[in-house]
Structure 1
Amino acid sequence: MKILALRLSQLASLPGPVELDFTAAPLADAGLFAITGPTGAGKSTLLDALCLALFGNTPRLRHAPGRDSHLEDLDGSRIATADPRSLLRRGAASGYAEVDFIGRDARRYRARWAVRRARDKADGKLQAVEQSLTDLDDERLLTAQKREFAELIPERLGLSFEQFTRAVLLAQSEFAAFLKADDNARSDLLEKLTNTQEYSRISVESYARAKEARDAVARQQALLAEDAPSDDSARQAMEQELAEAEGELDTCQRQMKALDEEAQWLAQDAQWRQRCEQADASLVEAEAQWEALSEQRRECEMLERVAPWRPQLLRQRSLSRQLPDQRQQLEQAKSALAQARTALEQQHQQTSRRRQTLEDSEQALEQARPAIAQAREIASELKGREQQHRQLEDEHQKRKRQREDLDGQQRALAERHRRHLEQRDAATRTLSRHLGQHQQVATARAEAQQHLEHAGHRLLALSELEQRWRLLRQLDEQQHRLDAERSRDSAQRDELLDQGKQARARLDHATAEHEQLTRFIQRARATRSDSVADMRATLEPDTACPVCGSHEHPWRDSPPATPEATQLAAQIALEDDQLAESESRLGELREQRDALFGRFQALKASVEQAETSLLALEPRRNEAQAGLEEAQARLDDPALAEQWRALDADARQAWLTEHSEKARQRQQQARERLQALDDAERQLAPLAEAIEEDERERQALALRAANFDEELKRLDDQRPELTRSIDEHRRRLAEALGDDRSADAWLERLEAQVRQARQDHEQARQAHDQAQRQVLSLTQRIEHEGKALSVLEDEKTRLDAELERWRNEHPDITDGDLERLLDQADDALKALRARLDGAREACQTARTSRDERRQGWRAWRARHLPEQDPQTLLDEATQRQLDARQADLDARREANRPRLEAAQQRRDGALHAVRDDDRRRQRQRDGLEALERARDEHHRWGRIAELIGAADGKTFRRIAQAWNLERLIDEANVHLAGLSRRYRLVRGGSPLGLLVIDQDVADERRSVHSLSGGETFLVSLAMALGLASLASGELAIESLFIDEGFGSLDPQSLALAMDALDGLQAQGRRVGVISHVQEMHERIPVQIQVHPAGNGESRVALSD
């Protein structure tokens, strides 16, 4: 992973646009560069833009207050202080941050973060953030959606936000945060950096599984207690009740079955009667339909008589309609023949006229050809003269334009010559002004150089004095702070000591109670076990018990009552809950004790560290005081030194600032005077050369102007004669052409006349031929249609005679009947016959069905009413007897139905009670098995949770992250060996605690809180670099940005830190640091300088 470029606009104090291209010089060639500028200029804003473009957040905003803290925006709305949109520069309508980088797949990408206000107005409401990711190799937009962007960035970059801020960007205040964090914070950070959150989830899940298993045991015990089955006596009573109810129900059901069988016979008899009535109705309907078809029967009879003569009748009717049309067509053809003959004669005359016109046009063309050739010769000569005239005019205009251009060059040269003279005079006056009282430039330059060196020496002395003074003030402040911390930590240590004693007392008390409860439950369970009952039966009076050793055995002959299985299970569950609650309380007290002990150890180490730091600070303060006195002695002006000694501590900083600024002003004035002398000398030399060059160019332009004037005069002399010749040729050509535009147009007009005459003649000839063909065609048509008409008339006469005889034989068929019969389709007779046959067959079928059904009904009643006379079986009297029988049957069934329902309900109630008791008994057996399984599950998950379980996941997380901490310590010690060989990190003090081994003091182990400021920085830097290596994993990271002050380092430690940065550079990383230390600025030539420009704005510039 490598950062290629950073771009931003309108963020915080940087209005921009700002572009830092790490692939172009000077940044491309610099493995180490510095970001410099005064405090608040906007150096950290560059790194904020880097994080914004990639992740939409910054390390500084991550620690800002959450939703409860708000800012008022320009439009009056409120935004959270942690909202990245608050970085948009005040008064700006939009802003963005953009980063080009090489991802883990070696492809180039561009990540962009942008925010704007509504309507692109500076007072508009802030809009939602826009984020996009582009593949630069394919020039393809991968996404412009925030959710997809958040998923793609870690995948393409290879780092999450937490990993990026530990592996690539080391932000302010983050160096010592991990070093001095407690175990929980340290394990949380390691978990995020190594993406090992699964261990916390496993810890939480094991705790939840154990709790769920414990709750399952309690639920199962409650279910067993709530759903107990009935006893044996109640069960026997339920079974007896069921037997009696089933006997009563059987008697009622047999009575109801006999009544139902009789009712079924009567219902079937009613069905027979209904079918017979339906058959009678069907027969009446079929006979009525047959009578309604009388007219159709007459129609069928006539169709049968007409059928043999149907073709002849249809042909006669067709000929009667066809002959008039045929005669009319023959007359129309004769009329068209007369018209065609007249048209043929007219076309013959038209063809003769067109032939004569063609001959006249061809003769006119041949006569005009000599005159056309002469006109072409005149036109060719005229074209040549006009071409010469155009060339002459073009040449004249060209020479005229060149002469005008030459005049312009002469005027421009005169103006330039004047400016050169004025510049020479101004440079001469400037040089004289800067010389002052000196006559020579060298003397004036030497004096200015002397002033510059004197101002530089004074500025250097004041800078050193200011640095020494600040160092002494910092050491004094550090001494006061350490005193306050030592007092505060001592008070907290004493308070924690008291709390620890109280926690120890509570833990001892809880341990005693837990042991007592455990012994009590064990004795109670031993009393209930089956083996105890067997052993109790073998006890003898005055003989020691093999278990407890007692000679008295009160339970041998009268043992305690054994509870039922349900009660026993409930008792066991209650005991398990009591043990679990006691163990949980014991664990919580142990954790409280351990936490208090850890805090006590940390505060003890902090107090020791403060005391050690105070002892180590005194020599440094003495050394700083001596350095301050040396800096005072190096002041070049005794008056200044005396002023400094007379000032109090509060006024010295203002005095240093004032005199440093005066020294800088004198230095700048000397530089400006030297620069002015050099500029004036550099300006005079080229001006003299330019004036001489102007004179040479002026003479050359004058010679060219004389040549152009002679050429223009020669061209003006040739123009009159050429114009007269052109006018004479135009007159002769106009006389030859007449009304035509040209000889070609004249020839084209005559040839067009010939072509038109030839075309007209051809059209007339084709029309004449067409008229001849039409006359012949009509003659043949008339002959053919006359013969066809004669044949049809003969056929019509024959058919009329034959059909007249048939009509005489069938006088009852009228003309109307005949027309109607002929209009019907050919299959009408067949359809009508089928309809009549169907109606006849329906009558027969209905009659047969009626007879069969009445016979069947009579046979049905004869089988079930054998005492009845067969002749009267279907009489009305018999039917009335059966109706009375049906009414009596209905009354008896209604009377028996309540008794049957009551017996059914009694049987169902008894059966439900027995089955419900069976289900309870089965559920009790299943519940005991489920309870045993739940206890096994609780035992298994309880053991796991005891080892790694925790509601917040910290138990297993600490175990897992201890291994990651070992890896981190190994990585950090590699970097620490290059920074300071005195110290080495180890794990100790707590599961995730850190200690420092001081190899200069016999490998003494010290708390990290005992390190001084410079030592803390070096160890923190090594830890940060180790975290970067751990977070990156197998990913090759080629860019590193460090935003941390180096001012707390002494010169030796600063040199070690610089060597470490050079080592990172040598490993192929591009390292950027933000620092105010002048020594680092001098050792790092390539710098990104952030200069305040006033009004809260800053400008970014590159310096190499």
Structure 2
Amino acid sequence: MKILAIRLENLASLAGFHEIDFTAAPLADQGLFAITGPTGAGKSTLLDALCLALYGNTPRLRHAPNRDSQLSDVGDATLATADARTLLRRGCASGFAEVDFVGRDQHRYRARWAVRRARDRHDGRLQAAEQSLTDLDDQRLLTAQKREFERLLPERLGLNFDQFTRAVLLAQSEFAAFLTADDNARSELLEKLTATGEYSQISIAAYRRARDAKQIVEQWEARLADDLPAEPEARAELERHAQLAQGELEDVLRHAKRLDTRAQWHATDTKLREAHAEGGDRQRDAEDRWQDLAPARADHEWRRLLAPQRHRLTRQAELPGEIARLEVTHTQTREALEHAKVTHRTAAHERDQAEQALSQAETARQQAEPMLRQARDQAQRLATREHQLAELENTHTERRRQADELATQRRQAGEEQQRQRQQHDRWQATLRQLMGDHERLEDTRREAQRAHDRAAQRRLALGELESRWQEAHRADQALRTLKERLTEDERRLEELVSQGQAARRRLDDTDGRHRTILELVERSRAVRSESVAKLREGLQSGEPCPVCGGLDHPWRHHPPTTPESAQLAAQQAEEERQLTQAQQERDQAQQQRDDLLGQYRALEASLRQRRQDLEDAEHRGTKTRRALDDHPLHDELNAIDAAERNAWLAHQRQEAEATRAQQERTLNELTRAETELAPLEEALRQIELTLTQLDTQQSGLDQELASLAERLPPLRGERDAIAARLEDLLGDHASPDVWQRHLDARQDSARQVRDAALARLHEAQQNQQRLAQQARYEDDRLTGLREERSTLDRELTEWRGAHPELSDAALARLLAQSDDEASRQERALIDAEQARQQASATLAERRQALIAHRRDQELAERGEDDEALLGGEAEAKIQRLRDALAGEREALAPRLDTAQAHRDEAAHVLRDDDGRRERQRESQAKLEAARAEHRRWGSISELIGSADGKAFRRIAQAYNLEQLLEHANAHLATLSRRYRLVRGGSELGMLVIDGDMGDERRSVHSLSGGETFLVSLALALGLASMASGQLRIESLFIDEGFGSLDPQSLALAMDALDGLQAQGRRVGVISHVQEMHERIALQIRVEPAGNGASRVSVAMR
């Protein structure tokens, strides 16, 4: 992965468009560069633009509050402080960030993030941010959708946002905290830096699973205790009671069953009686229906007699109409035949005329064929001449246009030559002015470089002198402050000792007073019949009293009430109050003494630390004063009054900086003059060559134009002569093709007319033949129908003579009946007959059933016939039996309800107990399962579980620390072969092996600033390797507080950065430390330009 370019517009303090192109000189030629500028100028905004273009977010915004913190925007609109759109510069309508990079597939891509306000006005509402990804190799837009962009970008780049901010943007300050943290804090930091928080979550989940499993076990145990079944003796009693209730209910049910049997006999008797009555009604209805169908039976008989003659009578009625219709049709056919003969003669005449017209059209076409061939030849020659003339005229026009363009180019080249000549003369004059008295340009550059280096070295020395002087001054101030604080703490310690002695005395007084009150209360209570109360409590039933010898103890549980009891209760309450007050005073005194003791111990520990800090400060002061005395400019500083040293140092640094800046400007102007002159001279040579080439091309075009002008007139004359001959041949026709189409159309039209006439003639012939045949058929048909009518009239007259009782009206009515109507009438007759027979059979059957049912009850006297069972006496006896049954059933109903209630209650109690027993079995099984689950999760939780997740986190992060140290040592070997990192001291502890000290193991807390930077940088690069996997990271941006390093440590840091550059990485360092600016030649400068805006430039020192 490699960053190729960063572009941005209107972000924070960087107003307008800015571009940093790492593929163009000088950034393309240097592997190490510094991003410099004062605080707040916008150095970090460049890295914000890098992250915005790739991920739409920045590391700084990621830690900002999201919802609780709001910023006001235009109008009443607000933005969350974590919203990336807040980076849009105030007063701007739009802005963007854009990054070109080489992805993991070696393709070049461009990622863009853009935001704008509504209507592109500075006071419009902010719109949603837009993101797009483009493949630069294919010039293809991959996506402009935000969700698709978030998916594609990590795939093409090879890193997600967290990995990018650890592998490409290295924040070393996090690793300084990582080095000095304890094991728990280090595991949390390592978890955050390696994005392996799932181990803490697993640990917490294991702990919670074990806790939840334990709660489930306790819940099931409580549920079992709350739902116990009956004891075996109680269960047996419940079952015996249920059996008795069931026996009682069965007796009542047997009696009720006997009554139900009797009631069923009465119900059956009622049904049979009602059925017998219904059968009589149905028989009477069937007889009435049979009598109503007498006319239908007569019609049915006549239809039987008419059946053999029915078709003759029907045919006799149909024949007159059929003969009349056929006679009309035959007349029409004769008339159509005569008309068809006329049509046939007309079609034959039209056929002859069409044949003659076709012959004339063919003759005219044959006669025009020779002239048509001549016209085609002339038209072909004319087209050829027209084409040649058009090509020649186009060539002439194109050459004229080229001549005009060459003239324009010749004029522009001359103007450009004059402009370049003037610019060349100006730079020559500037270069001579810069050289002054020097004869050679190299001498001028060498002298300016030496002056620049002298000024830079003096400025660096002055900066180091100021740093040492300030450090010595700070050490003296810190020493004085520590002494004052030590004196104050000693005074405070003496006060605490005095307060502690007073608190001890108060504690002894309150403790003595509490013991005195307690002894008085105990003696008073002992006097108040304490032994009597104890003897009363010890009495046992049936045993003699030790005082009186009696076996009855009436006051054992309820002693008698005496007049002194109220006074005794009040006295006891007062004693309790005094005891409580004394105890509270004693507790307060004890708490005050403990508080003072805690303050004393804390202050004593603070005093020890103060004395140690004072000793360290005196040691540091001595060291800093010695370093100040060793500085080469110390004598100059001592010659200045102490009050004026700050001003003197600032003035000296300003003079050195001014001298260095002046010489740097001179060098830059020399370089620029040389850089500008070389392309100008080359441009002048190219312009002169271009002018010569343009003159040559102009001469050739003039000759070609003259030749073309000579060829055009003869060709136009030949074209006009051919056009005149062609016009004579064509006459009124526009072209040979039009003439040919006219002849073809005349012949085709005549042929179509002839074919149509033939078709009409053929159709007329067929129509005439069809009508003649139809006329003959109709003659034959009329003759046959008249003969059939005569025969039918004779035969039917004879049949009517044999049946004179059948009137013409009846015959007409019978013949008018349809077959369906006759079938329905016959079906009704059959149904009526069957209904009458079935009703008679049903009535007899139901009568026998009712007699048989009543015969079993002996309702009639012996010897009487069966009719007596259907009489009134039998009905009265049955009613008396029904009333007696109703009385018995009414008396039995309460007994049945009571027995069922007893049985149901006993069964309900048993079912409840059965349910509790079943629930006990199920709950016991679930309890065992819950206990097994608790044992399983308890075992896991014992290994890796904890409420805060640290148990498994420390195990997992120990492995991650091993991996991190392996990667870090690989990078540390290239930065400094002296050091190597290993685990030690604790589970997540780290030690440094010092190769120059015989592989001595050192604490990371003993490293100097430079050593800490090397180790931290190696750790950062190691984490970058872990984050990026197999992806090669070729661009790094390091943001580190280099200002805290001493000169020696700064030199180590610079050597480490040079080592990264030597590995083929492009490294960018963000810093405002001047010494680093002196060491790093290539700089991206972010300089304030006023009004809160900054400008970005790339320069070589």
TM-score by length of 1: 0.71
The 3 A distance-change label for structure 1 pair 279 and 676 is same
Q: Is residue 844 from structure 1 mapped to residue 845 from structure 2 by the alignment? A: no
Correspondent of 1:958 among 917, 936, 954: 954
- Tell me how far apart the structure 2 counterparts of residues 952 and 398 of structure 1 sit (CA, whole Å): 90
1:720-739 map, 5 Å? 730=724
Tell me how far 1:758 sits from its aligned partner: 5.9
The DSSP-based 3-state class of the residue aligned with 1:166 is helix
3-state SS in 1 of match to 2:173: coil
| SS at structure 2 position matched to 1:174 | helix
Q: Look up the equivalent residue of 2:169 and give its one-letter code.
A: L
Query: Which residue of structure 2 aligns with residue 909 of structure 1?
Result: 905
Alignment partner of 1:858 is 2:862: no
Distance 1:690 1:152 in 2: 49
Q: How far did residue 883 of structure 1 move?
A: 3.0
Match of 2:36 in 1: 37
Structure 1 residue 852: deviation in Å?
A: 1.0
Task: Give me the whole-angstrom Cα distance separating, in 1, the residues matched to 2:995 and 2:1085.
Answer: 40
Structure 1 pair 471–778 and aligned structure 2 pair: CA distance change class (3 A): same
Q: In the alignment, what sits opposite 2:633?
A: 629
2:72 is equivalent to residue 72 of structure 1:
yes
Q: Distance in 2 between matches of 1:301 and 1:1087?
A: 133
Q: Is the 8 A contact 1:49 1:97 kept in 2?
A: yes
What code does the residue aligned with 1:262 have? R
Structure 1 residue 859 displacement after superposition: 0.8
Equivalent-residue separation in structure 2 for 1:1046 and 1:1073 (angstroms): 10
Shift of 1:856: 0.9
1:798 and 2:791 matched: yes
* In structure 2, distance between residues paired with 1:437 and 1:35: 30
The question of 1:267 aligning with 2:267 is answered: yes
Q: Shift of residue 61 of structure 1? A: 2.7
CA contact (8 A) 2:357 2:750 kept: yes
1:182-237 alpha-carbon deviations (Å, 9 max, x no partner): 43332223345566555434533443344445545654665566556678997787
Structure 1 range deviating more: 171-180 or 309-318: 309-318
Q: CA deviation at 1:787?
A: 2.5
Q: Is the 8 A contact 2:118 2:127 kept in 1?
A: yes
- Tell me how far apart the structure 1 counterparts of residues 31 and 142 of structure 2 sit (CA, whole Å): 33
- Counterparts of 2:860 and 2:1014, CA distance in 1: 129
Does the aligned pair in 2 maintain the 1:468–1:631 contact within 8 Å? no
Per-residue deviation at 1:863?
1.1
Deviations 1:634-674 (A, max 9, x none): xxxxxxx9999995426744774576357535653675478
Shift of 1:780: 3.4
Give yes or no for the alignment of 1:277 onto 2:270. no
Specify whether residues 750 and 188 from structure 1 end up closer, same or farther in structure 2 by C-alpha distance, changes over 3 A only: closer
| Deviation larger for 795-804 or 913-922 | 913-922
Deviation at 1:482, TM superposition (A): 8.6
Which residue of the partner structure matches residue 509 of structure 1?
A: none
- Alpha-carbon offset, residue 305 of structure 1: 3.1
Please give the alpha-carbon distance, in whole angstroms, between the structure 2 residues aligned to 1:240 and 1:798.
Answer: 108
2:646 partner amino acid: A
Cα distance in 2 for partners of 1:156, 1:435 equals 53
The number of equivalent residue pairs is 983
Deviation at 1:1097, TM superposition (A): 4.7
Give the equivalent residue in structure 2 for 1:898: 894
Change (3 A) 1:790 1:307: same
**Contact 1:421 1:691 survives alignment (8 Å):** no
**Residue 245 of structure 2 contacts residue 902 of structure 2 at CA under 8 Å; is this kept in 1?**
yes
1:181 aligns with 2:178: no
- Greater shift, 675-684 or 602-611, is seen at 602-611
> Residue 61 of structure 1: SS of its match in structure 2?
helix
Deviation, 1:877, is 3.6
Check conservation: 1:1045, 1:1076, Cα contact below 8 A: no
Residues 34 and 1084 in structure 2, CA contact (< 8 A), matched pair in contact too: yes
2:657 alignment counterpart: 660
Amino acid at match of 2:900: Q
CA distance 1:385–1:763, change in 2 (3 Å): closer
- Is the alpha carbon distance of 1:624 and 1:62 closer, same or farther for their aligned partners in structure 2, counting shifts above 3 Å? farther
**Cα deviation code 1:984-1019 (max 9, x no counterpart):** 545556543445566667877665445433232222
Structure 1 gaps of 5+ residues are: 499-596, 634-640
Partners of 1:791 and 1:876 in 2: CA distance: 82
- Paired with 1:195 and 1:693, the residues of 2 have a C-alpha distance of 64
Q: Distance in 1 between matches of 2:730 and 2:882?
A: 134
> Is 1:342 aligned to residue 339 of structure 2?
no
AA at the equivalent of 1:629: L
Q: Quick one: structure 1 residues 702 and 754, their matched pair in 2 at CA, closer, same or farther if it must change by over 3 Å?
A: closer
| 8 Å contact kept, 1:1065–1:1071 | yes
1:881 to 867, 877, 880: 877
Aligned partners of 2:233 and 2:902: how far apart in 1? 20
Calculate percent identity across the aligned residue pairs: 42
Checking the alignment, whether the CA contact within 8 Å between 1:50 and 1:99 is kept in structure 2 is no
Offset from partner CA, 1:415-472 (integer Å, 9 cap, x none): 866885687678668867986799x997596896588457634653454246435644
CA spacing shift, 1:653–1:304, aligned 2, 3 Å: farther
Counterpart amino acid of residue 791 in structure 2: R
Q: 2: distance between equivalents of 1:480 and 1:290?
A: 145
TM alignment of 1:670-749, pairs within 5 A: 672=669, 730=724
Of 774, 777, 785 in structure 1, the residue corresponding to residue 778 of structure 2 is 785
- Cα separation, 2, equivalents of 1:250 and 1:476: 115
Aligned to 1:93: 94
Provide closer, same or farther for how the CA distance between residues 906 and 787 of structure 1 changes in structure 2, counting only shifts above 3 A: closer
- Residue 837 and residue 25 in structure 1: after superposition, are their counterparts in 2 closer, same or farther (change >3 A)? farther
Q: Residues 948 and 318 (structure 1 numbering): CA distance in 2 closer, same or farther, change over 3 Å?
A: same
Cα distance change, pair 976–185 in 1 and its aligned pair in 2 (3 A): same
Given residue 79 of structure 1, which amino acid in structure 2 is its aligned partner? Answer: L
Aligned partners of 2:674 and 2:1044: how far apart in 1? 44
Distance 1:839 1:703, change over 3 A: closer
Moved more, 192-201 or 415-424: 415-424
Q: Encode CA deviations 1:475-501: one digit per residue, 9 max, x unaligned.
A: 56985999799999999x999xx9xxx
The equivalent of 2:460 in structure 1 is: 464
1:445–1:674 CA contact under 8 A, matched in 2: no
CA distance in structure 1 between the partners assigned to 2:162 and 2:423 by the alignment:
64
Matches of 2:625 and 2:827 in 1, distance apart? 136
Alignment of 1:508-527 (within 5 A): none
Q: Distance in 2 between matches of 1:736 and 1:932?
A: 120
Q: 1-side partners of 2:120 and 2:847: how far apart?
A: 102
Aligned mates of 1:1004, 1:729 — CA distance in 2: 112
Separation (CA, whole Å) in 2 of partners of 1:925 and 1:390: 110
Q: How far does residue 334 in structure 1 lie from its aligned partner after superposition?
A: 1.8
Pairwise CA RMSD: 6.0
Q: Deviations over 1:43-91 (max 9, x none)?
A: 4445445545665543323333454333223454333323334334442
So what's the TM-score if we normalise by structure 2?
Answer: 0.71
| Corresponding position of 1:327 | 327
Q: Is the 8 A contact 2:8 2:95 kept in 1?
A: no
**1:585-604, aligned counterparts within 5 Å?**
none
Alpha-carbon distance in structure 1 between the residues aligned to 2:358 and 2:920: 130
- List alignment gaps of at least 5 residues for structure 2: 497-600
Map 1:924-935 onto structure 2 (within 5 A). none
Alpha carbons 2:30, 2:1082 under 8 Å: kept: no
Residue deviations 1:1024-1081 (CA, integer Å, cap 9, x gap): 2333345556777666543324454556655655565566667776655445567877
CA distance in 2, matches of 1:108, 1:807: 118
* Equivalence for 1:305: 305
Write the distance in 2 (CA, Å) between the matches of 1:1017 and 1:393. 83
1:316 and 1:796 in contact (8 A); partners too: yes
Counterpart residue identity of residue 862, structure 1: R
